[in-house]
Chain A
Amino acid sequence: MKYSVFIIAALLIAAACIAGCTQQQASTQSPAASQDTIKVGVIASLTGPASNVGTNMWQSAQVAGEKINAAGGVTLKDGTTKQVKLIVGDDESTQAGGQKAATKLITDDKVDILVGGYSSAVTSAYEQTIAEYKVPYIVTGASSPIITHRTDIDTSYVFHHCPTTDTYGEYTTQFIDEVVRAAVNKKLGAPSDRPFRLAVLYQDTAFGKGVQTAVDNTIKTKNLNIVLVSQQSFKMGESDFRTQLTAIKAAKPDAVYIGAFPNEGAPAIVQARRDIGLNTIFLNVENNDNAQFYKDVGQYGEGAVIESRFSPYTAPAGAVAAAQDEFKQAYFKKFGTYPDMMGASTYEGVFIAAEAIKQAGTTDKATVRQTLTTMKMPQVIEAMKDSTISFSSGFRESSFDLWMEQLYPDAAAGETRPKIVWPDNLKTTEFVLPSWYEAGSSA
């Protein structure tokens, strides 16, 4: 019996050790040099349902930190130069985990500034802590507008460096109205005033509801001839969408807009095409532009559309192409895979944090926050409005140039790959309806 008790104790200790192994505490510099460093806390989902994207965010931050340090670090106004030290906090894809990570980074690690945040539900859960300790936080993944629009707590230290669901929901709905509608009408030989039948499948969180609300609001405010024929929700982390998709198919949609994470969006499309026989166009939110998504969706991704601003497999021609390629290569060299969109904005988030401290000339949090409100810096790897990163005066949101890309089979990759189809100044090919496409109604 005693022997067995020892074995159990050993197993439990092993569990604790293994658990510790997933809590990466990597940094780009030794702790001994912490006084000469700028501490940037990175909140990412390293474990749990969002770990794929969260790991990408943390690894992208590391690439940024190394690049900044390799270039000499951050020179302050007094002439001193400091290296960037990154400290990660795993939000475990849960609200409780996020609260724990934010508190630890702020109170134990005493970070100067925070970057990251993926799930809007998780991020909004620890915003109270950010407000309480008044630490500047550049949110690079959570896309619900509530992140900076909420009024129940002070969000003045929170800056939003990713398009909100309002922005890309509106953008995608406009694309549907201008491009998909025309293609469907042409295929059907239908008059231009035929109402477009759109269905929405969304995650039942602030993020997913944000997408659904944005579509609804855009249709109403712009008086678009789009009818929402079905709106189905699912809980975060769901993997079986068959019942909701059956309901959507019964509503005969011309296209389905999916407000989901990549680990939800890919199986939803596979189940829709393979199991339900829903042969339509699926439009996806930008966070799905992720290497794992392309792998999981496989051949069933053909014809699907993703709203994007950074893709592992394509880039718009122009100023940012070379910068994006350099980032992708640096990331691939270090980790053997390609970064995704959330990684790209987190990479930029570290640069924004470094620039804000540089321009503020100090790590004093109130001064850094004030600097962020008025700061302008050149775009880094993603195309920004006016080629400049700055935060709006009202809700402290930066403005991106977005695009829509469609997925085509790629025999060499054995998966689909994206090509930009909208807007006109960025597109490399035209949007097309696949031969197997079935419209919701004949006229």
Chain B
Amino acid sequence: MEDLSIILQILFWGLYAGCIYILLATGLNLIFGVMKVVNFAHGEFLMVGAYITFTVFLFTGFNPYVILLLSMLALVGIGAIVERLCFRPILGTGKLNEIFLSIGLIYIFQNGAAMIWGDAWQSVKSPYDGISVPVGPLSVPLDYIIIMVVTALILCGLYLFLKKTTIGMQMQATSQNRKGAMLVGINVERIDIISFGLGCALAAAAGTLWVVSGQVFNPYMGAIPAVKAFAIIILGGLGSIPGAIIGGLLMGLAENGAAFLLGGIWKDAVSFIVLIVVLVIRPTGLFGGKEG
């Protein structure tokens, strides 16, 4: 019984980590699906989202879960500016340009954040700190339940947005066939900017939930999550939102399972081992189409 409780606890931490990964990878996939751009600076949007939540929390003391909405809105704006000024001019000029541009953005955002907020580690205290709730045989902090619920709500909202709104359907159409979308009168540049903003907002949500869960952060926090987000979208299938969700969950569970069974140093490595195994078996990823 005790062993079962430990396994359930590890699965729970895997689910929590998976939630952060899902939000980050879904945003990245949304951008890639529509624009087909490679943005290595996606982790920096997570970092900026975390700092916006931190700053507003510091000055107002508002509930960080409420500030999450503000942070997402701010990142919609920042994302739109980055898309308009940086990615749109180089769209279609080659992957190398996109890669170097996004690497440049990493430095801009990291150093900019270090100048504004300093590079000391920061933390945010949740208003629900110290409150635990029973979940089956486990007693888990309320924050993690809220994080999972918030993630589910955001994903449901995204699903409804993509399936039920005109813009959402235009985004799907652009993702499926950019030229076709243009031919039927969809303003793909407008769709690009919305997709990029939305993708950044999801990264901001991931950043906020990261800091609320008691993890420390600094301007360089986005690098590793961004690499993992790329691994997740390749694992799940490029451009596939369900793939990003399943991939994110798999990654969270695999990492925590490996940390428990093999030791903490395997935590990052196992993500990429899973990725390699999946790609060998199914080169287009779990949910990828024939063309990947």
Contacts and interface: CB of A to CB of B under 8 A. Distances in A.
A195 interface: no
A317 interface: no
Contacts of A47: 114, 119, 220
Interface of A: 1, 4-5, 7-8, 11-12, 14-16, 18-19, 21-22, 47-49, 51-52, 55, 204, 232-235, 237-244, 246-247, 250, 262-263, 266-267, 270-271, 274-275, 277, 292, 296, 298
B262 to A, nearest CB: 10
A28 to B, nearest CB: 23
Binding site of B, secondary structure by majority: helix, strand, loop or mixed? helix
A251 B224 CA distance: 30
Nearest to B85: A7
Interface in B78-127: 85-86, 88-90, 101, 104-105, 107-108, 111-112, 114-115, 119-121, 123, 125
B101 A8 contact: yes
Interface of B: 2, 6, 9-10, 13-14, 16-17, 85-86, 88-90, 101, 104-105, 107-108, 111-112, 114-115, 119-121, 123, 125, 129-130, 132, 139-141, 144, 214-218, 220-221, 224, 256, 259-260, 263-265, 267-268
B119 to A, nearest CB: 4
Given A243-B260, A263-B216, A18 B86 contact: no
A270 B212 CA distance: 13
A-B pairs, 5 with minimum CB distance: A4-B89, A234-B264, A18-B111, A15-B108, A243-B259
26 contacts: A15-B104, A15-B107, A18-B112, A21-B115, A49-B218, A51-B218, A52-B119, A55-B119, A204-B264, A235-B264, A237-B224, A238-B264, A239-B217, A240-B13, A242-B16, A243-B14, A244-B259, A247-B6, A247-B260, A270-B214, A274-B141, A275-B140, A275-B144, A296-B121, A296-B216, A298-B125
A271 B132 CA distance: 13
Contacts of A240: 13, 17, 215
Given A240-B215, A242-B13, A292-B120, 13 more contacts: A8-B101, A15-B111, A18-B111, A18-B115, A22-B119, A204-B265, A232-B263, A238-B264, A243-B13, A266-B216, A271-B214, A274-B129, A275-B141
Contacts, number: 132
Contacts of A8: 85-86, 89-90, 101
Nearest to B130: A274
A19 B104 CA distance: 11
A232 B89 contact: no
A169 B2 CA distance: 32
A14 B121 contact: no
Contacts of A11: 85-86, 104, 108
Nearest to A296: B123
Contact of B9 (A1, A21, A246): A246
Given A51-B120, A243-B259, A243-B260, A233 B265 contact: yes
Nearest to A244: B264
Given A234-B267, A267-B214, A1 B89 contact: yes
Nearest to B264: A234
Nearest to B221: A239
Contacts of A18: 107-108, 111-112, 115
A48 B219 CA distance: 8
A203 to B, nearest CB: 9
Contacts of A19: 107, 111
B141 A232 contact: no
B13 to A, nearest CB: 4
A52 B120 contact: yes
A235 B265 contact: yes
A148 B17 CA distance: 40
A52 B112 contact: no
Contacts of A263: 121, 216, 218
Contacts of B217: 239
A262 B216 CA distance: 11
A267 B10 contact: no
Contacts of A250: 2, 6
Contacts of B216: 239, 263, 266-267, 296
B265 A234 contact: yes
B215 A292 contact: no
Nearest to A204: B265
B65 to A, nearest CB: 17
Nearest to A297: B123
B267 to A, nearest CB: 7
Nearest to B107: A15
A88 to B, nearest CB: 15
Contact of A246 (B10, B101, B104, B263): B10
A435 to B, nearest CB: 16
Contacts of B13: 240, 242-243, 246
Contact of B267 (A5, A21, A235, A271): A235
Nearest to A48: B220
A7 B120 CA distance: 31
